Amino acid sequence: MKLGYSARLAFGSLTHSKMRTWLTIIGIVIGVTAVVLIIAISNGLQANVQRQLGGLGADVVSLSAGFSRAGSNFGFRGPEGGQGGSSTTIANNLTTKDIQSVKGVPNIQYVTGTISGRTQVDYSGQSSNAQVTGIDVLSYRPFATYTIAFGRDLAPSDSDAVLLGDRLANQVFKRPITTGTIIQIGGKPFRVAGILAASGGGFGGGGGDNAIFMPIAKARTILGEFTPDQLSSISMKMADASLLNETLTALTQRLTITRQVVGKTQDFTLTAAQSLRDQVASVTSTLALFLGGIAAISLLVGAIGIANTMFMAVLERTKQIGVLKALGASKGEVTRLFLIEAGILGFSGGAIGIALSLLVSLVLTEAGIGITLPTAGAGGRGGGGSGLVLITPELIFFALAFSTIIGMIAGYVPSKQAASLKPVDALKYE
């Protein structure tokens, strides 16, 4: 019995019992849809966070004021930190002296300081609050993660020029803000030098769509809460990212001396972007595994449905099996016939489940969450969008193959039962 003939017999049997076939397929559809969506949302969440954290760079270390011993996993505690209690030290401010201090640490290539705060923005008779980041235009360039969509970047000669995030420029006010426009920030006039490309976020202060970047000297006058040498944070770029641990240790030792603190009175925190990214990846992967296991239960229920359908098919077609074997069909051919049937059920359920997953993703797109369908080989980071739902070609292929294999495994025992029937007994079966 040729494979094509076996496939036609299998299709004929499934179409003969439409209701039972569809009820069986629905079980697989629910399982596949649940698994695909959970994995896709988990992938999208991880890609989103990694993309936003990626703006910090694996070679960037941030210094902030204050130190907590409550068990922060994201900061670096230093040689003596993290062993005592749950106290928090007073956050002594960072200053330009700290910049000079860390510049001499081996493997530190670039250093820059920033200040940040929120203030009121007025334009076209409307007001809104926005995050202002004051930067040292020259030293900030190696750390800049934003992209200029319109206009130009800040120049050292600028004093009253600013860069605006995409959302702030195009969505917050009734009229879009264009380059060259004069707006009021903190009650003072500024000319818009450039509009940033949409980033889809701004985690960590890097290129947020609601951000305002301006020269640090002017930001001090706008925010009003900073002394002439005070800073909100200091960023450092390493020459060799593989020396992260050694560099963090050296920075901690240097700052402990220059800030005149000891382990129990440490008043600063060093944060490595790579550590953040690794821990986020670990958390999201664990969450995906847990939720995927729950969703897999639906697939198991679907597989039981397929096995039940195939057992019923064997009972109903006992006489047909006898005829096939009397005509010379071997045990392997009968087994193959029923396995094809089970595979069709699994494949159909998987295909419909994937289509339903894509439909749900499109609905999420309309709701503003989004869908991303990167091309194969993009490493899960396609060029199309920044949504929370990340459905890759690899995920689609996996879901389809997995549902088909589940179907065939569920149909294996019934198919072996059918193949073991004796022709004489099968032909007498009523």
* pLDDT tens by residue, 304-341: 777 777 677 666 666 666 666 676 777 777 777 777 87
Least confident of 137-146, 248-257, 421-430: 421-430
Average pLDDT over residues 263-280: 76
pLDDT of residue 55: 55
pLDDT at residue 385 greater than cutoff 70: no
HSE (side-chain half, CA atoms, 13 Å) at 162: 34
Residues comprising the chain, all counted: 430
Model's pTM, two decimal places?
0.58
HSE (side-chain half, CA atoms, 13 Å) at 404: 13
341 contacts 421 by C-beta, under 8 angstroms: no
Confidence of residue 372 (pLDDT cuts 50, 70, 90): very low
260 CB burial (10 A radius; 0-12, 13-18, 19+): exposed
Q: Which amino acid is at 360?
A: V
pLDDT at residue 420 greater than cutoff 60: yes
pLDDT at residue 80 greater than cutoff 70: no
What does the buried/exposed string (b/e) look like for 142-167 if buried means 16 or more CB atoms within 10 Å of the residue's CB?
ebbbbebebbebbeeebeebbbbbbb
Domains in the chain: boundaries: 3-54+277-428, 60-272
- The pLDDT mean for the chain works out to 76
Across 13-22, 121-130, 291-300, the highest mean pLDDT is recorded for 121-130
Closest CA to 38 of 386, 281, 284: 284
What is the distance between the alpha carbons of residues 92 and 415, in angstroms, rounded to a whole number? 74
- CB count in 10 Å sphere of residue 363: 11
- pLDDT 10s digits, 393-412: 888 888 888 888 887 887 77
What is the distance between the alpha carbons of residues 261 and 140, in angstroms, rounded to a whole number? 28
What is the distance between the alpha carbons of residues 369 and 157, in angstroms, rounded to a whole number? 41
**SS3 for 242?**
helix
pLDDT of residue 69: 52
Least confident of 71-85, 229-243, 256-270: 71-85
| Residue % of the chain over a pLDDT of 70 | 70
- pLDDT 10s digits, 127-169: 999 999 999 998 998 888 888 999 999 998 888 999 999 889 9
Chain-centroid distance of CA 182 in Å reads 37
Residue reference for tokens 């088909």: 404
Confidence of residue 424 (pLDDT cuts 50, 70, 90): low
Alpha helices by DSSP H, listed for 55-125, are: 96-103
Q: Which amino acid is at 9?
A: L
What is the distance between the alpha carbons of residues 177 and 303, in angstroms, rounded to a whole number? 57
Confidence of residue 14 (pLDDT cuts 50, 70, 90): low
Give the residue, 13 or 356, on which the prediction is more confident.
Answer: 356
Phi first, then psi: give them for residue 148, nearest 5 degrees.
Answer: -80, 115
**SS3 for 76?**
strand
